[in-house]
Amino acid sequence: MALILSVLEQGMIYAIMALGVYITYKILDFPDLTVDGSFPLGAAVTVVLISKGISPVLTLPISFVLGALVGTLTGIIHVKLKVRDLLSGIIMMTALYTVNLRIAGRANFPIYNEETIFNNGFLNSVVPAALAPYTTVIVIFIVTIICKYLLDAYMSTKSGFLLRAVGDNPTLLTSLGVDKGLVKIVGLAISNGLVTLSGSVFAQHQRFFDISVGTGTVVIGLASVIIGTSLFRKITVLRVTSSVVVGSILYKACVALAISMGLESSDLKLITAILFLLILVIAMDRKKVQ
């Protein structure tokens, strides 16, 4: 039971990040490595703000805005300075490593005794004792669902239509008199906003910031997106965003399974990489069959 809860918790936290990766990878066709820096950015900002006494709930929108700024920078590097997509991400990821260290002041920053969105006076007073073990998963569920629905809502606006069109057919945007570069920047901003928000939830869940938490984030995000979109391709009732969330939970379940089979947590990154490779190969196989 504890294992299932932990998979759900972790899966849904990373799902917010995967929603961001979905925008760049699937919609913009832009493999954005900024993610490896913007995820820990959320964690760093959050632990510092919480330790300074800022309300944990406020750290979520603050993280989103900071992430959006970071995404905007990646976009400007790519669109205005015409640096290739992969390189723009690598530049930002490398720069953010230092930025994150500067923000936190050190490589490891615990907040064990502070209030978080999972553990605060308000929650402790309203949640009945019987539900207490499930508080965390419920809070994560609410945050993730809000993010998913806001993203769905955005995608059905006029501005969201442009975002969907730009990866599909950039020529059409030019024909419509719209600057496709600007639309790409907006997409990267929203994407990294979500990733940073996910990092903020992660830090409050783990109750610490560590400079290495970002390593491999993009791989986890891509794996979740590919699992979600290729497994549920046929099921049209399920929105793509929902499949991404489910994909993220399934991915975490796979990792948990691998660890429960006797692998150690220090093997985690290796498991992540091998799993991702497997998923890519299987997903490509399915494409061929079609």
Partner 1 sequence: MLELVNVNKNFNSGTINEMCLFKDFNFKVEDGQFVSVVGSNGSGKTSMLNLICGSMLVDSGKILINGEDITYKKEFLRHKNVGRVFQDPSKGTCPSMNILENLSVADNKGKPYNLTRGTNRKKIEAYKDMLRPLNLGLEDKLFTKVGALSGGQRQALALLMSTMTPIDFLILDEHTAALDPKTAEIIMELTNQIVREKKVTTIMVTHNLRYAVEYGNRLVMMHEGTVVMDKSDEEKKNISTEDIMRVFNQISVECGN
Neighbour-count burial for 85-100, b at 16+ CB within 10 Å, e otherwise: beebbbbbbeebbebb
Beta carbon nearer to partner 1, 141 or 154:
154
d(Cα 1, Cα 103) in Å, to the nearest integer? 37
Cα 110 to Cα 35: distance, rounded to the nearest angstrom: 22
Residue 108: CB minimum distance to partner 1, A: 40
| Count of residues touching partner 1 (by CB under 8 A) | 22
Closest by CA position to 183, among listed 194, 198, 197, 168: 168
Contact flag: residue 193 with partner 1 (CB under 8 A): no
CB nearer partner 1, residue 180 or residue 252: 180
Contact stretch for partner 1 (CB under 8 A) within 31-39, 62-70, 166-174, 225-233: 166-174
For position 157 contacting partner 1 by CB under 8 A, the verdict is yes
244, β-bridge pairs = none
Task: Pick the piece of the chain touching partner 1 (CB under 8 A) from 46-54, 169-177, 216-224, 280-288.
Answer: 169-177
Q: Are 13 and 201 in contact (CB under 8 A)?
A: yes
Nearest CB to partner 1, comparing residues 16 and 162:
162
**DSSP assignment, residue 129?**
G
Which of 62, 99, 152, 154 forms a contact with partner 1 (CB under 8 A)? 154
Instruction: Determine which residue in the list 62, 178, 211, 259 makes contact with partner 1, applying CB under 8 A.
Output: 178
Q: Does 149 bind partner 1 (CB under 8 A)?
A: no
Q: Closest by alpha carbon to 229, among 244, 246, 249?
A: 244
Q: How many residues does the chain have?
A: 290
Q: Does 29 bind partner 1 (CB under 8 A)?
A: no
Helix (H) or strand (E) holding 209: strand 208-210
Both structure tokens of 47? 């632990």
One of 55, 94, 108, 169 touching partner 1 (CB under 8 A): 169
Is 212 near partner 1 (CB under 8 A)?
no
Q: Give, rounded to a whole angstrom, the gap between the first and last alpha carbons of the chain.
A: 38
Q: CB 83 → partner 1: shortest distance, Å?
A: 20
* Residues at the contact surface with partner 1, assessed by CB under 8 A: 154, 156-162, 164-165, 168-169, 171-180
